[in-house]
Amino acid sequence: MDTIEDYEGSELKQNEKRPGLLTVLCILTFVNVGMSLFSLLASLFSGPLGEEEMTEQRVQFVKIADEMKSMNLFSFAEIFDKLQRMSESLNEHFYFNSFVSILVLMIGLLGALMMWQGKKLGFHLYIGYSLLAIIQIYFFVSPSDVPSFVVIWGLLMSVLFVFMYSRNLKWMTK
């Protein structure tokens, strides 16, 4: 049960100025989500790649992989093979993947907006967004076709942002 002190303390925090770090993080999140949504909507208008475009893409990936193999960089060649298979799988599930991506981005946007307003629930939504953004690819792509660096980079960025957002939890209320 909330006490008068709890209520007064949370009201006081709301009247305090938003921390600068929180402002910067929220703006970065707004820009990232906005650019991602814009890119998604633009790709929705053009639709999935056609067979000719997929063939052209395959040729490009094979050229890069062959170049890597010629330099004895077999692990990099394998990454490009995986990226090609991942791209094909995402293209096969283009509309459903786009729909899920929009939903995940909206969760991230809502979380950032709530933190901007000083609500802790936004932080928890942001954590959910961060996790969903990483695992959503596995809804459409076989785990063996996802290069490790894609997951590792996503995890590093998510952990970094969640950590930095967590530094502002004292300012946020329930």
Confidence of residue 12 (pLDDT cuts 50, 70, 90): very low
Residue 5's pLDDT is: 47
CA gap 21, 57 in Å, rounded: 41
Of 33, 174, 36, 26, the C-alpha closest to 112 is: 26
Q: Give 127-172 pLDDT, tens digit per residue.
A: 999 999 999 999 999 999 999 999 999 999 999 999 999 999 999 9
- Can you give the residue ranges of every domain in the chain? 19-166
Angle at 123 between CA 171 and CA 32, to 5 degrees: 110
Q: Give 71-130 pLDDT, tens digit per residue.
A: 988 888 899 899 999 999 999 999 999 999 999 999 999 999 999 999 999 999 999 999
DSSP tag of 71: T
CA gap 71, 66 in Å, rounded: 9
| Range 28-35, long-range pairs (CB < 8 A, 24+ positions) | 29/108, 29/109, 29/112, 29/126, 29/161, 30/109, 30/112, 33/105, 33/108, 33/109, 33/112
Confidence of residue 9 (pLDDT cuts 50, 70, 90): very low
Question: Helix crossing, 51-70 with 74-92: angle to 10°?
Answer: 170
CA gap 79, 98 in Å, rounded: 23
Confidence of residue 15 (pLDDT cuts 50, 70, 90): low
Question: Helix crossing, 120-135 with 148-166: angle to 10°?
Answer: 180
CA gap 120, 157 in Å, rounded: 20
CA gap 167, 2 in Å, rounded: 24
* Its pTM surpasses 0.85: no
